[in-house]
A and B are shown apart, each in its own frame.
Chain A
Amino acid sequence: MSITREKLVDAYTTMVKIRTFEEHAAQLFAEGKIPGFVHLYVGEEAVAAGVCATLRDSDYITSTHRGHGHLISKGGDVKRMMAELFGKRTGYCKGKGGSMHIADMTLGIMGANGIVGGGPPLAAGAGFACKYLGRDDVAVCFFGDGAANQGTTHEAMNLASCWKLPVVFVNENNRYGISCSVDRATCVTDIADKAAAFDMPAVSVDGNDLMAVYEAASEAVERARRGAGPTLIECKTYRQRGHFEGDPAGYRSPEEVAEWKAKDPIPRLEKKLLEMGVLAEDRIREIRAGVLAEVEEAVRFAEESPLPDPSEVTEDVYA
C-alpha cells in the first residue's frame, strides 16, 4: 500500500514529537519535577508512528509501560500528557494515573498499562466489540518482547484467531524485558514465529524503518477491517535508554547500544524524505521548531497547572 506524501510528513512529525516529548520528560524527571517512574520510547518511534498512521480515531489501541509514543501517534494531546506526568489535575487522568496509565477513550486509546501482558486480552475485547457492532474498526495491541512470553498474550492471540477478531498484534521486540534479554527469555527469539501456534499470519519487519512498519501495518489493518482476522507484526527495534529513567542499563554493551543508535529511525527517515524531495531542510527546521514549541508549551502548561486537591482521592472510583 502506498503512503501519501502528506502521511509521510505527518508520520515524521509524529516521530519528532515523540522524541522531543521524551527528551523533555527525561530532563524533567532528572530535575525531580516528575514523580514516580517514566519509561521512555526513544528509539522505537517508527513503530508507533508507522502503525498508527494506518488507523483512524475510532480504532482502538492498547498500550504498554512504554506508552507515550503510542499515545502521541494515536493523536493524544501532549499538554494533557505532560500534565499527567506531573500529576496535575489538568492531566489526562486528573493526576490519578500517571505515565503508566494515560488513556483517551475518545481516541480509542485504552490506556497505557502497568502490567506486562495486561493489554492483549483487552485488545481482543475491543476487537470483539467492533465485530459485534458490525463496525469495520480494528484494535491494535502493542506489546513487548517481555509480554510475548506472558500467558495472557498467548490466550488473547488464540482467542482472536479462533474468533477471527479484527486485532493487529504489534510486537515491539526491543530485545530486553528490563535486564533480561530476549535470548535469555525465550527459545523462540523471533516473536513472529510464535504466531504459527495460532494459525495467524505473522511478519517480521525492521521496526526502525517507518516504511517497513507502515506497509506491514496497513496490510494487517486492511486484513482485519475486511474480517479476515488477526495478524502479528514483529517490529525489531531497540530502546535507546534504560528500561526506566534512572536505569543504568549495565546489562547491555556500549557497542550494542551504539550499533542501534546508528540505526536511529528518525535521521533515517529524515534522510529519505530529503532525498525524495518530500521535505526540504527549511521545512524540517520548521517542523522541529513547531514540535519544540508545542512540547515546551506542554511543559509550561504542566508546570502552571494546579495539583489535584486531596479531597479528590476517592472521586472516579465508580461510574
Chain B
Amino acid sequence: MALVGIIANPASGKDIRRLVAFGSVFDNQEKVRIVRRVLLGLAAMGMERVCYMPDTYHIVERALRRIQVPLEVFPADFRARGEPSDSTEAARVMEALGTGCVVTLGGDGTNRVVAKGSCAVPVLPISTGTNNVFPAMIEATVAGLAAALVARGLVPEEEATFRSTQLEVLRDGEPADLALVDAVVCDDVFLGSRAVWDIAKVRQIVLNRAAPGSIGFSSIGGLLHAVAPDAPEGLYLELGPGGRPVTAPVAPGLIETVGVTTLRVLGVGDRVEVRGAPAVVALDGEREVEVTGRERVSIRLSPHGPRVVDVERTMAAAARRGVLAPRRRGGRPCPATPNVPTS
C-alpha cells in the first residue's frame, strides 16, 4: 500500500538570522497547521498510510488533534533526540519502508539532513525556514495532493519530479557531508550558532544551483550565471577585494555588494579545494565542517542529489490526465462552471 512520509523539523525558522538579519519567524504552531493541510490533501487523494518523523514538538500528533482523516498515521520507529540527525534517521527509515514520497517542512538545512538519509525517495519540500532555495513556498493542501499523486503513481515520476544535483564535501577524498544549494568557505573557527551572515568572512562559494531571483549566496552566482537545479553544472566563485561588484540579497533583508574575483562554471565531477585553515565550510547556510588544516577538504559537484517533486509540474501532469477531473461517461467534458444547487 502506498506510503507518504512527513518530516517536519521543529527547529527550523528560529535561528540567529532573526536577530542578525530580518528572517521570518516560523513558529511550530504554523508547522502544525501546515501538516494538517498536507494530511487533508493526502487523504483527499486517497492515501491511506502516512509515516512521520517523531519530534519534540509533536507536530504531526498535534496536527491530527483537530481533524478526522481516514489515514493510518504512524511514527518512524526510532527515538527522537531533538537533533538534526533525527531527520536523517527518519529519511532512512522511510526509504526502508518503501515510502513513495516524503514531504518535508523546513529550510535548506532540513532538506540537507534529509538527503543525507535518503536521496532515493522523491522529496516534496515545503519551505518553513529563512533564506531558502531548495524548498518552495507552496500551499500545503496542494502539496498534500501532489505528494499523494506521486506516491500512488497517479502521475509518472519522470513528469512530476526532477533529479537535483548536489555538492559533496570530501575529507581527504572521502565523502563527509553534502549540500543541496551552496557550500561556502568562511574565515571562522566555530560552528557556533551555525548561520552565516557576515559576508566579509566568506572567501569561496560553490553552488550547484543559482538563480538571479533566489535569496542567499546562490543569488550572487545567479546574478552572473544562472544554473537550473537539474542542470549538470555548478558554479565556483571567489570573493575578495578588487573583484567584480555584485549586489545581491545574501540574507533576508540584507543586501550586500561583494567583489567576485573568480567565476568558474563547474561540470559534474569537478572538484574545488578548500583553501586556508582554519576555516569553516557552511553547507546550505549553516556552518557544518571545520577545516583545521590537518586534512584536505574539497567540494565536488555530483549529479546524484535528491529527486524533487515539482508541485506545479505534478499538478499539471494530473490535469493533463484528468486525475482530479475525470471525464464523464460517454466522453463528454465536464461543464466549465460548477453546478450550483438552487433551492
Contact = CB atoms under 8 A, between A and B. Distances in A.
A234 B121 CA distance: 34
Contacts of A3: 190
Given A188-B28, A190-B14, A202-B25, A220 B19 contact: yes
A167 to B, nearest CB: 14
Interface residues of A, number: 31
B313 interface: no
A211 B193 contact: yes
B57 A189 contact: yes
A202 B14 contact: yes
Contacts of A190: 10, 14, 27-28, 57
A219 B20 contact: yes
B81 A259 contact: yes
Contacts of A272: 190
Contacts of A259: 81
A214 B192 contact: yes
Contact of B14 (A203, A220, A275, A276): A203
Given A190-B28, A203-B14, A231-B19, A215 B193 contact: yes
Interface size class of B (residues with CB under 8 A): 20 to 34
A94 interface: no
A212 interface: yes
Interface string A171-203: 000000000000100001110110110000111
Q: Per DSSP, are chain B's interface residues mostly helix, strand or loop, or mixed?
A: loop
A22 interface: no
B199 interface: no
Interface string B5-27: 00000110011101110000101
Nearest to A5: B189
B29 interface: yes
A204 B14 contact: yes
Interface string A1-44: 01100000000000000000000000000000000000000000
Given A216-B16, A219-B20, A203 B193 contact: yes
B18 A202 contact: yes
A288 interface: no
Contact of B193 (A183, A189, A193, A216): A216
A241 interface: no
Contact of B27 (A2, A196, A215): A196
A157 to B, nearest CB: 15
Interface in B246-303: 278, 290, 292
17 contacts: A188-B27, A188-B28, A188-B29, A189-B28, A190-B27, A195-B25, A196-B25, A201-B19, A201-B25, A203-B16, A203-B18, A204-B14, A209-B191, A211-B193, A216-B16, A219-B20, A276-B189
Interface of A: 2-3, 183, 188-190, 192-193, 195-196, 201-205, 209, 211-212, 214-216, 219-220, 223, 231, 234, 236, 259, 272, 275-276
